[in-house]
Chain A
Amino acid sequence: MILDQVIFLITAVVVLTAAILVVSVPKMIHAALWLILALAGIAVLFVLLQAPFFAVVQVIVYIGAIAVLVIFAVMLTRKAMQDDGPQLNRYSVLAAAVSLMLFAVLTGMLLSWDGANNLPVNPAVNPDTIVNLGESLTNPQGFLLPFEVASILLLAALVGAIYIGREHRAGKEEE
């Protein structure tokens, strides 16, 4: 029981430290690498929540795909922003104040809700959860429609990214 809490606290410290470094380190490539550490910590939290499927998805989609995509983008735009220049705009102090206020308000609201402290954790998760999840995603009475909409969203994003990202050679030749 207490082991859970120790693991959670260590993971939380790692995640928050890595997240703060993501938004504060001057070198973009370092920020991307710290983002990977934060995402890995969140995968550990998913394991603690007994959602192993999402821990795996987190590692594959976020660490495997999104982080690599970000690192590629950082390396392709290396020359644009010198790493020794200012990385924060002139609103950074205001932004920090707003974020701290937002955190204070959110925490105050969450902790004033009785359920946050008293809600008992449900007994062990049904091991068939993954089966139920897969069946509900293909069940017309379940979540088939959102599932298909999500796949169309991914297809649209794929087409859009390819169209936006390619070099328009034809246009350049006309100039």
Chain B
Amino acid sequence: MIPLSWYLVLSAALVCIGVFGVISRRNAIAMLLGVELILNAVNINLLAFWRYMDVIHVTGQVFTIMVITAAAAEVAVGLAIFIAVYRNKRTIAAEDVADLKG
């Protein structure tokens, strides 16, 4: 059998890779890919805890469905915003879109 810690360490590594991507990539779409990695790591964690601790109930699975829903909504709106930004400013680099910066 696979120890629970293997899943936890794997998802911790995925979260950290995703955080690195969100902080360091210049392309705004690449930052969204980092967010996707983080949310997938969350899903692994939720399902692993469901499998090891609370397999009788479906709470962990419902949480996973909510995370997937939020991820889908976030990607759809995020990409629409980036395409609108690209149409107006002809750039997709995150540091060039700083009009709201005080």
Contact = CB atoms under 8 A, between A and B. Distances in A.
Interface of A: 1, 4-5, 8, 12, 15-16, 19-20, 22-23, 28, 31-32, 35, 38-39, 42, 45-46, 48-51, 53-54, 57-58, 61-62, 65-66, 69-70, 72-74, 76-77, 79-81, 86-89, 91-92, 94-96, 98-100, 102-103, 106-107, 110-111, 115-117, 119-122, 125-126, 129, 132-133, 136-137, 143, 146, 150, 153-154, 156-158, 160-162, 164-165, 167
B59 to A, nearest CB: 8
Contacts of B76: 69, 157-158, 161
A130 B9 CA distance: 27
Interface in B3-51: 3-10, 12-21, 23-27, 29-30, 32-34, 36-37, 40, 43-44, 47-48, 50-51
Contacts of A51: 47, 50-51, 61, 64
In this complex, the member of A23, A66, A88, A98 whose beta carbon has the largest number of chain B beta carbons within 10 angstroms is A23
Contacts of B80: 160-162, 164-165
B72 A61 contact: yes
A57 B87 CA distance: 33
Contact of A150 (B6, B53, B66, B95): B66
Size class of the contact patch on chain B: 35 or more
Contacts of A156: 73
Q: 8 tightest CB-CB pairs across the interface, nearest first?
A: A23-B21, A157-B73, A165-B80, A95-B23, A116-B5, A92-B24, A80-B92, A95-B24
Contacts of A5: 1-2
Contacts of A45: 7, 10, 44
Nearest to A88: B24
A133 B40 contact: no
